[in-house]
Amino acid sequence: MAGNGGGLVDGDWPLMGGRFAPVDYWQGALWATLAHGRAAAQFNHRMIAYALLASGVVLLIAGARRPPGPKILYRLAIAAVALLFMQAGLGVATLRAGDPLWLALAHQANAALLLCLAVALAWRARRV
């Protein structure tokens, strides 16, 4: 998103230009759309974010329904989902505010923290 200025396209949310999918999504060819289409990049970014949010909620529900296990595992899951929701909030705020640098950097820094926490969670879960 940051590399192609995709955050500056369709600054409304949850719709894009008043529609679910942006009018200018398709750029004439698959590679042109996926690699160079700013509207496509933002739309795909949003869809992945929604899928990750849903996965985070499922993770918490599944963790709450399992028999008691290591508390660290559940705490890592809660922290990861909290950062996931913070990431979504930062993304929407960055978009709505017109992509100010400080907010975009906060969104990227939170993404790095979330990745580290997700790796720690996966590593710890593998050893249970």
pLDDT score for 2: 67
Q: What is the pLDDT of residue 60?
A: 86
Count other C-beta atoms under 10 Å from residue 63's C-beta.
Answer: 16
Question: Which tokens is 37 given?
Answer: 């289409």
More confident residue, 14 or 116: 116
At 16, give phi and psi (nearest 5°): -120, 105
- Looking at residue 112, its pLDDT comes to 98
Mean pLDDT of the chain: 89
69: its two tokens: 């296990």
Give the domain ranges of the chain: 6-126
Q: DSSP label at 97? A: T
